[in-house]
Amino acid sequence: MPYEPPTHTVERSLRATTGAKTVAGVDEVGRGAWAGPVTVCAAVTGLRRPPAGLTDSKLISPKRRAELAPLLERWVTTFALGDASPQEIDDLGMTAALRLAAVRALEALPVRPDAVILDGKHDYLGEPWQVRTVIKGDQSCIAVAAASVIAKVRRDTMMAELGAASEYAAFAFDANAGYPSPVHRAALEEWGPTPLHRLSWSYLDALPRWQHLKKVRFSAEAAALESGGQLGFDF
């Protein structure tokens, strides 16, 4: 199914209405995973035409993503990544962990953005950042789409490298990147969670042998915000 290519429309609007000169597109990957960090990419692209085929990373085959990511890393004006670890996700909740990772990415840019285009409908950044949220921004906004692809390939590569260690081999992180999968679930049932796993998440409720390891969520609000991402296959 063909998709409309992303544009600079939102970025042009922000420049016109706020006077912003540097606009960063921000997207995350790993929100719904059972293991590994949540990774955020902030990308500044200017108003140039992107490499062909750019869209939301989830709509691009793994092979094409792997080809496109290095092209994007050279094409963007600048980009930076930030992670929040599984332990930080457990301690802070996903919303605060997303903000932590995003701030780490934004503050790692050589120039502080005047405005941020954030994928989705929830502004998890807040002040002092000037944020424009865009639903499906990773499909419609060039800077967000670029951030989406870079973040996805970088995190997938990191999870594959971690999964190469003998103690994690049974979890097949090279294939599932820490997301739910039959192999991942079977390994959890047999071996239990590793230091790479999020211990506050509800998958442990279905593993009686390992339930004693579960961490209590820090608030009911955090549990509600996170519950939507834990059941799907997104890898």
The model's pLDDT over 59-118, given as tens digits with 9 standing for 90+, comes to 889 999 999 999 999 999 999 999 999 999 999 999 999 999 999 999 999 999 999 999
- Starting at the edge strand found earlier in the chain, the sheet holding 131-134 runs 78-84, 38-44, 23-29, 115-119, 131-134
Q: What's the CA gap between 98 and 149, in Å, rounded?
A: 17
CB 142 within 8 A of CB 54: yes
Q: What is the pLDDT of residues 29-59, one digit of tens each?
A: 999 999 999 999 999 999 989 998 898 888 8
SS3 of 129-183: the string is CCEEEECCHHHHEHHHHHHHHHHHHHHHHHHHHHHCCHHHHHHCHHHHCCCCCHH
Averaged confidence pLDDT in the chain: 90
Quick one: DSSP state of residue 200?
Answer: T
Which pLDDT belongs to residue 219?
A: 52
Which pLDDT belongs to residue 87?
A: 96
CB 79 within 8 A of CB 42: yes
Taking the whole predicted model, whether its pTM rises above 0.95 is answered as no
Place of tokens 């639903």: 135
The average pLDDT across 204-231 equals 69
> Would you say residue 5 has pLDDT above 80?
yes
